[in-house]
Amino acid sequence: LGVSALRAARLSKIPCVFTYHSWYEKYTHYVPLPQSMLKRIVCARVHWYCQAVSGIIVPGRATEHLLEESGITTPRV
């Protein structure tokens, strides 16, 4: 859904704001694929998406720190 929201926002020329409420890489164990590969893929997709949106809502300091460590430069709102 996130990619669809990003596309709709761009077509409508409005900002797309994302709430980073879950550490997605911590849920990969629910998917029956090799974990090291899957975690790299999830981290890369999350990084790409966070860099593509206009702003990120961060619910706590730990999540803010995670984004900083990941090199995500999108403004926090």
Amino acid, single-letter form, for residue 27: Y
Alpha carbon distances (Å) from 40 to 31, 54, 65, 72: 14, 24, 19, 16
pTM to 2 decimal places: 0.87
Q: What is the pLDDT of residues 13-50, one digit of tens each?
A: 999 999 998 888 889 999 999 999 999 999 999 999 99
The pLDDT of residue 22 is: 87
